[in-house]
Amino acid sequence: MLILIQYTVLFASILLLVALGGCFSEHSGVINLGLEGEMVMGALGGALTMKFLPDGTPAVVMVLTVMAVSLLVGMLYSSLLAFAAINLKADQTIVGTAMNMLGTALATVMVKAINISESVDNVSSEIEYVDQKKNLIVNIGKFEFSWFMLVAVIALVVSYIVLYKTRFGLRLIACGEHPQAADSVGINVYKMRWAGVLISGMLGGLGGICYITSGVSSWKFEYGVAGFGFLSLAVMIFGQWKPHRIALAALLFGLLRALSNVYAGFDFLVSLNIPSGVYNMLPYIISLAVLAFTSKNSHAPKAEGIPYDKGQR
């Protein structure tokens, strides 16, 4: 049971970070379907940081550096969406989809190029971080506590305060609900939407490095992040774009995802004779069901996905 709780909290932390990122972007009025690509790029930045940091780097320095690089890379990658969707008024769905495909392909090519430069025989897209990963985890009895769990809780609290208790957050929400009205009182809609997308990229990048270090000590980037970006979107929608509800949804989906990792340890689940693939598919099946039954009653920002035209009223 303890290991189920551990994986549930860990997967929930990943989903929470990325879903909060999507929440900021959509509250500003930009649909961010590129979360998957942002997670991959953030994971790449963090993994390369762990790979090239010199041996003997203090644990605190390594953890903070890895997080900072993942945040930065995710933010830089999200600027592609911001420029295309906000400045060029491109279709946000198409841009996000393209970013997902580009992210995985670009990460795979980069890692292979690095591995080839180090060893002619090694053309894999895999990065190992066996020893470095130990610095990300603290053993509390039999429970493995990841620093990302704490970061996710902090991100939840900060996101709630920023969105509902600060001038910036209220202006961001206004730009996603009625940008023309926001502009009429002097709010720069373009800047606010850029801010929302960049924050989304930061949290998406952080969620990416959290995902690839969640259970293994190496990662092949050709695998991407196994659909966690899209699963985070489902969490965000199920949570009705509100941080506290997103947290509850993340716990639910985190539990479903954790079951696929530990079901073999529960006799009553094994006795059901359900193929392991079903447990792996369960979070995604549930997400489809949730979206199908809740889409009519969802309260998405009214102006999301609509390019802002300053002359329109």
Where along the chain do its domains lie?
2-232
Reading the block at residue 166, the tokens are 């600060």
Distance CA 272, CA 267 (A): 9
Tell me what the mean pLDDT of segment 246-258 comes to: 91
Average pLDDT over residues 67-73: 97
Is the pLDDT at 121 greater than 60? The verdict is no
Residue of 269 and 232 predicted with greater confidence: 232
Q: For residue 313, what pLDDT is reported?
A: 59
* Residue 256 banded pLDDT, cuts 50, 70, 90: confident
Percent of the chain clearing pLDDT 70 (strictly above): 93
What's the whole-number mean pLDDT along residues 67-80? 97
* Tens of pLDDT, residues 199-227: 999 999 999 999 999 877 888 998 899 88
Q: Cα(first)–Cα(last) distance of the chain, in Å?
A: 56
pLDDT in tens, 137-178: 888 877 888 899 999 999 999 999 999 999 999 999 999 999
pTM of the model: 0.93
Using one digit for the tens of pLDDT, what is the confidence trace for 4-51? Answer: 888 899 999 999 999 999 999 999 999 999 999 999 999 999 999 999
Q: Say which amino acid occupies 25.
A: S
